[in-house]
Amino acid sequence: MAAHELLLLRHGESLANRAATAAENAGLELVEVDLRDADVPLSPTGEEQAEALGAWLADLPEGERPDAAWSSSYLRARQTVSIALETAGSDVAVRVDERLRDRELGVLDLLTSHGVEARYPEEALRKRWLGKFYYRPPGGESWADLALRIRSLLVDMERPETPGRVLVAGHDAIVMTFLYVCLGMSERELLDFAQTHTVANASITRLTRDGETGPWTLEAFSLAGHLVEAGAPVTLHGGDPDVRPR
């Protein structure tokens, strides 16, 4: 059968999430992180959030638990899904897929919004002209590029051997792009939605469809009740700067 339910998981709070929020709040130009984006781990809070997610998965009725798990190749996503499944006592194998990695920001990587304006004013101007959806930083990706990745991945999820209920561990931009592609959003609809909705760390966004080829429906966005129930912090760090609400 093809996938008929997607549980879209944003990774737990990472060390870079904390550093980026602190840098933005302090008006700094640069986020101080000494690791590649792919190698940034969860913070202690992120690990706690992943454990809370695992407890929630363990409490799901047998017929509502994930049949499969796919993860971004980035460490923070792999850690989140690994801790969650281990806590849940699940033996579901995790398929790591680089198409679920975070959006690449190229020359703007590790720069705050203030840093972009100060160091690359021509890029800030070009972004305002093109809009967030089509703007591609030098060496980076646009949201349209992410959509190509997700469309490719969904083709694989249409294969008959794909289990029906899939846990997908990724990033805030990845969750938003799934909504854009699966719900048939326009550029304007996606940007308006992102303006008023934030993907919380370790939250679940649920997409379902009838059968294997029907249209997708958004059943729930950024559910974080499992964190509250477990006493874990709910964090709303902006990851991709173009997903961060303004």
What pLDDT is stored for residue 22 in this prediction? 94
- Contact between residue 54 and residue 80 where contact means Cβ atoms under 8 Å apart: no
Q: Which fold has domain 5-230?
A: Rossmann fold (3.40.50)
Place of tokens 């008929």: 4
Is the pLDDT at 95 greater than 90? The verdict is yes
Domain ranges of the chain: 5-230
Distance of CA 195 to the CA centre of its chain: 16
For the stretch 106-158, pLDDT in tens is 999 999 999 999 999 999 999 999 999 999 999 999 999 999 999 999 999 98
Rounded-to-integer distance, Cα 131 and Cα 167, Å: 31
CA-wise closest residue to 11 among 91, 101, 92, 132: 101
Q: Is 131 left (phi over 0), alpha (psi -120 to 50) or beta?
A: left
Strands 68-71 and 165-170: parallel
What pLDDT is stored for residue 244 in this prediction? 57
* pTM, to two decimals: 0.95
